[in-house]
Amino acid sequence: MGMGLAQPPSFHLGSLLLVVNQERPDACEAALRIQAWGEAHQVSIVHAEDLTGEHSATPDLVVSLGGDGTVLRAVQILGGQNVPVLGVNFGTLGYLTSVEPVQLLEVLESLHAGVMPTDAHLENRMMLRIHVAQKDGGRHTLRALNEVVVEKVESGHTVRLEVAIDQSVFATYSADGLIVATPTGSTAYSLSARGPVLSPQHRAMVLTPVSPHMLFDRSLVLDPAEEVSITVRGHRDVTLSVDGLHFVALGPEDTVSVVSDAATACFLHIGQQRFHHILRQKFGLGDD
């Protein structure tokens, strides 16, 4: 079952949130140009670094200036709000960015005029909801667009991770770790661990072991309605990461439960759908 694409309706652009990769001078320069554009057009521009309680209102659009990592940060900042994210590519060829820097002001001008570019469309992507229950009583709830990773801390040792699907024990993995990925995240860490590639418009969860030391070493593609629970067995500590960022250390008997989130990540794409084109380029699948 796919998430679906939608031709966006007319658009009101009165406020804009900027998420910038501060390590890229060209992205920072673009942010200054957008700030000047906003002042000239009476569009409120808020920078992610300046977010406070007084700027907690939902923006009309989020503009991400960087690469895929910056887009992931933008989605995390939104916290499940259904606000379109426009990814502007200042990195290498990315799966989540759809606009080149030279196009940006033209796109903003069109949106400010209340007119969507004719080749624009909105796309909703599935996200994960993660619940962490620690033996010491700690409780955490998180979201992920790409993946959640439960992975060993010490090199040279595997960890034992018990997996249950809908509260029924499936297997205890001896591995370096486990990844639960969305279709969007299937081209990230899960792919490097030999997981399958899923269309980003699909709805499913992918459970991929990292360097498994057992006979069953395959990925599982699961229904999004299923719940995956990972419990740390044995005595070795592991770490929990969400969308590439370390979140918390886990110990024996701690459990991470993953389900599909009711919220989705919304992207504003300009131009043709590029997923297969990008995949082809990244892996050199051109005609020989």
| Same-domain check for residues 143 and 168 | yes
Specify if 187 maps to a domain.
yes
The CATH number of whichever domain residue 167 belongs to comes to 2.60.200.30
pTM: 0.92
Catalytic annotation present for 243: no
Specify if 288 maps to a domain.
no
| Same-domain check for residues 189 and 211 | yes
| Same-domain check for residues 155 and 274 | no
Contacts by 87-93, CB closer than 8 A, 24 or more apart: 87/267, 88/27, 88/30, 88/63, 88/64, 90/21, 90/24, 90/26, 90/27, 90/30, 90/65, 90/66, 91/21, 91/24, 91/66, 91/67, 92/67, 93/278, 93/281, 93/282
The CATH number of whichever domain residue 27 belongs to comes to 3.40.50.10330
| Same-domain check for residues 154 and 84 | no
Specify if 227 maps to a domain.
yes
pLDDT digits (tens, 9 = 90+) for 239-258: 999 999 999 999 999 999 99
| Same-domain check for residues 132 and 121 | no
| Same-domain check for residues 180 and 276 | no
| Same-domain check for residues 85 and 151 | no
Residue-range definition of the domain harbouring residue 193? 127-262
pLDDT digits (tens, 9 = 90+) for 165-187: 999 999 999 999 999 999 999 99
Residue 116 predicted with pLDDT over 90: no
Across 9-33, average pLDDT = 92
209 CB burial (10 A radius; 0-12, 13-18, 19+): buried
| Same-domain check for residues 241 and 131 | yes
Specify if 149 maps to a domain.
yes
Which residues on neighbouring strands pair with residue 66, listed in sequence order?
A: 89
| Same-domain check for residues 180 and 229 | yes
- pLDDT bin (cut points 50, 70, 90) of residue 3 is low
The domain total for the chain is 2
What is the model's pLDDT at position 14? 93
Catalytic residue among 26, 50, 68, 243: 68
